[in-house]
Amino acid sequence: MSTRPIGSTESFLDSIGVNTHINDTSGGYGNISKVISNLDYIGVTHVRDGLTGSLSTELFEVLANNDITFSLLTSGNNGASLSSQISAIAKLESLYNAIDYVEGPNETDYFPISYNGLTGFAATRAFQSALYSAVHGNSALSGTPVIQTSLGDGNSYSQLGNLSSSADYSNIHSYYFGWGFTRSVADQVPERIAEAQTISPGKDTVATEGGWSTATYSSDGYGVNERTQAVLTLNMLLDQYKDGVDRTYIYELVNSGTYSSTNLQTGFGLFNADGTPKQAATALHNLNSILSDPAAGTKGVSLTNLGYTLQGMPTEGQDMLLQKSSGNYDLVLWNEPTIWNTTTHSAYSIASQTVTINFDNAQSGTIYDPLLGSTAIASFSNTKSVQVALSDHPLVVEVGTAATATVATDTATTGTNKIVLHVSEDTYQGDAQFVVRVDDKVVSDVLTATASHAAGKTQDITVSGDFGSGTHKVSVTYLNDLNGGSAGDRNLYVEGITVDGTLYSSAKANMTYNYTADFNLNFKASSSASSGSSTSSSTAGTTTSNVSTPNASSTDSITLRVSEDAYKGDAQMVVKVDGKQLGDSAYTVTASHADGKTQDITLHGDFTTGTHKVEVAFINDFYEGSASADRNLYLQGIDVNGTFHAEAAASLTWNHSVSYDLAFA
């Protein structure tokens, strides 16, 4: 059967966005530089957020200056008029071309708004209509699409009526944890789209929220563990793109509030509050790396048919064909069985099923598992038939059009540390295969077990490397489980691990399905033990080291003398000249005001001779009720081209900007 790709890999990746709460500087969003690095790690450039009543845009400008674009919510309840909200959004568009969508109020059945003396759904209808007119009547925003208001309950749509004249896109919130996780995401997506069509008939769809929380023991049973969050998140992105959803904004980037395993709202982040990635962030990073096609932006992608059929797909199995600018195809296969037990708060073990891909013509390529990494787990060459073991999450089969694809590996083949795995297998239609990781990094090729477990035999497989002395996590990932029922069952057995001559007989695992077994084992010192380590130092004194922006060859220099009160993180600021931000990111202040220290931060640019407005914005204030629990920024003067302006001083104890008209010679 000849199949045409549903789209390019880049169009799929461009369909992914994420929710943030940028102006909430009390927790995981308090360090804007970390937010930027988190977005970069998962490869997402589209953010959904909303302006607070103060309409502060400084943090949004920092993100926009790093090529982040926005879908911005509007509200009837944040204390700001609709016209002032539109003005603030238009500013971001006119300065940075940063607005993808303007969105109506959020879940107005759960959070009713008031507008022009109206309340309830009457207020929602009036506000949405006024919003649509205001956006398309604004010179900066006239070409920006408006997203319909969102609703939290599917039963609310019939009460709102037809609002298709007030929006360019329909809006769904895709939380698929109802029915005790017994219904697949793929089964529910068409229902959500149909509900949204009730008020926006004929409009394309944007999913402005959707995700799962890792508050595993939440009382409502909706929380899951990290791996399940990762699996369901990838499934949702694939299902919704396949069903025509233009963009899906995952909820959310970073955990909100103080995490509790029983509080659902605190665990939706792809990252923990400290910025460390959960498994969902890692899986999304891997998927982005596998599908990324930077050349598509210049070359474009011509979609051509690929002849193939699938044999042995599970009942809940899904497939989607994408294509890259090179002509290579990425065939994504995934399965959506019930994977979470809401009673025991644990994941079900899902046996893999063999799926055979039959090509019309001989093909070569590679196979990837984004839950394991971004490097290939297997390859095939000049064949018309390929088998994969499909369990509960996506696999990507990249089909090359010309040369045989090769498997990328990050393998430690030499080194003073020796890991010897004592393994055996049950063979069935092929041998068991696995990879070895140290501290989550793959350090082996794909390894094959051949010793018969039933016959009482074992096999020693050695992996070498320089890992450093101390305790390291050694992981064995079983890759290709296959269960044929009564016909046979392929399994892998780890029967002990020897590290640098010491046998750990307790490092055992009977691996009857695809998963990763972890063991914390002690390593002796290696000759390259310092590899990968880093050190940092701090020098006491009244002035810290000068920090310069990259464009130091410019003719004008601006040096800000600053200090801070640190509390749960350091103060951050952005600097503008004549309204335009300097530098790509925020600047972090570390000099202690209480200790009498200052820090000079120097920025460079080319400005005309004369007076220019220099503006400093404090962007991450945080206060918890006392002087000792208060983050503040202090500006203690500005030097412009060698002339120090002591009058350019301010104590910034809340998020706001100060500006000074200074002479540039």
The pLDDT tens digits of the residues spanning 40-70 come to: 999 999 999 999 888 989 999 999 999 999 9
Element (H or E) spanning 309, and its range?
strand 306-311
The domain that holds 184 is classified in CATH as 3.20.20.80
> What percent of the chain is modeled with pLDDT above 90?
67
pLDDT at 157 over 70: yes
- Are residues 52 and 171 both part of a single domain? yes
Q: Taking every pair of C-alpha atoms in the chain, what is the biggest distance, in angstroms? A: 88
Q: Does residue 541 form part of some domain?
A: no
* CA–CA distance, 106 with 151 (Å, rounded to integer): 7
The domain that holds 391 is classified in CATH as 2.60.40.1180
- Mean pLDDT score, 550-576: 84
- Are residues 252 and 324 both part of a single domain? no
How many CA atoms within 13 Å lie on the side-chain side of 358? 6
CB 654 within 8 A of CB 646: no
Name the packing angle between helices 226-242 and 185-197 (round to 10°).
Answer: 50
Residues near 647 by beta carbon (within 8 Å), at least 6 away in sequence: 660
Query: What is the span of the domain harbouring residue 166?
Result: 9-292
Average pLDDT value for the chain: 89
- Are residues 375 and 277 both part of a single domain? no
How many CA atoms within 13 Å lie on the side-chain side of 426? 14
Token output for 553: 């060859």
Type of residue found at 229: Q
End-to-end CA distance of the chain: 72
CB 464 within 8 A of CB 421: no
pLDDT at 546 over 80: no
Does residue 61 have a cis peptide bond before it, meaning omega lies within 30 degrees of 0?
no
CB 23 within 8 A of CB 56: yes
Token output for 33: 């530089």
* C-alpha distance from residue 225 to each of 250, 285, 344 (Å): 17, 18, 12
- Are residues 151 and 275 both part of a single domain? yes
The domain that holds 608 is classified in CATH as 2.60.60.40
208: left (phi over 0), alpha (psi -120 to 50) or beta: alpha
SS (H, E, C) 553-597: CCCEEEEEEEEEECCCCCCEEEEEECCEEEEEEEEECCCECCCCC
Q: What is the CA radius of gyration of the chain?
A: 28
Token output for 609: 């001779």
Backbone angles phi, psi at 448, to 5 degrees: -120, 130
What is the CB neighbour count within 10 angstroms for residue 188? 17
Tell me what percent of the chain is helix, strand and coil, each rounded to the nearest 5.
20, 40, 45
- Are residues 59 and 137 both part of a single domain? yes
- Are residues 272 and 386 both part of a single domain? no
- Are residues 249 and 378 both part of a single domain? no
Q: Which of 316, 349, 348 is nearest to 333 (CA)?
A: 316
pLDDT at 260 over 60: yes
The 10s digit of each residue's pLDDT in 93-134 is 999 999 999 999 999 999 999 999 999 999 999 999 999 999
Q: Does residue 603 form part of some domain?
A: yes
Count the domains in the chain: 4
- Mean pLDDT score, 189-212: 97
- Mean pLDDT score, 635-651: 90
Q: Does residue 574 form part of some domain?
A: yes
Q: Which of 557, 612, 605, 564 is nearest to 587 (CA)?
A: 564
- Mean pLDDT score, 570-583: 89
What's the confidence (pLDDT) of residue 553? 56
- Are residues 85 and 155 both part of a single domain? yes
Q: Does residue 532 form part of some domain?
A: no
pLDDT at 413 over 60: no
- Are residues 184 and 268 both part of a single domain? yes
pLDDT at 540 over 80: no
- Are residues 230 and 367 both part of a single domain? no
What's the confidence (pLDDT) of residue 512? 92
E strand map for 439-555: 441-442, 447-448, 459-465, 470-478, 482-483, 489-499, 502-511, 516-523, 547-548
What's the confidence (pLDDT) of residue 238? 99
- Mean pLDDT score, 336-351: 93
pLDDT at 272 over 60: yes
Token output for 89: 């959004």
The string of DSSP codes covering 346-357 is EEPP---EEEEE
Q: Does residue 590 form part of some domain?
A: yes
Last residue of a domain, one of 268, 292, 316: 292
* CA–CA distance, 359 with 352 (Å, rounded to integer): 22
pLDDT at 146 over 80: yes
- Are residues 391 and 469 both part of a single domain? no
Token output for 599: 């820090």
Q: Does residue 528 form part of some domain?
A: no
Q: Does residue 540 form part of some domain?
A: no
pLDDT at 320 over 70: yes
Collapse the DSSP code of 154 into the 3-class scheme (helix H, G, I; strand E, B; otherwise coil) and give the result.
helix
pLDDT at 402 over 60: no
pTM above 0.75, yes or no: no
- Are residues 283 and 359 both part of a single domain? no
Confidence of residue 414 (pLDDT cuts 50, 70, 90): low
The 10s digit of each residue's pLDDT in 218-259 is 988 899 999 999 999 999 999 999 999 999 999 999 999 899
Token output for 544: 């810290």
* CA–CA distance, 466 with 414 (Å, rounded to integer): 8
* CA–CA distance, 147 with 131 (Å, rounded to integer): 10
Q: Does residue 408 form part of some domain?
A: no
What's the confidence (pLDDT) of residue 526? 60
Residues near 499 by beta carbon (within 8 Å), at least 6 away in sequence: 417, 418, 419, 420, 474, 521, 522, 523
Q: Which of 436, 433, 380 is nearest to 410 (CA)?
A: 436
Type of residue found at 28: G
According to DSSP, the β-strands at 657-664 and 329-335 are unpaired
pLDDT at 401 over 90: no
pLDDT at 426 over 90: yes
* C-alpha distance from residue 141 to each of 148, 169, 286, 581 (Å): 16, 16, 35, 21
Q: Which of 123, 113, 128 is nearest to 163 (CA)?
A: 128
Type of residue found at 115: Y
pLDDT at 534 over 50: no
* CA–CA distance, 281 with 226 (Å, rounded to integer): 10
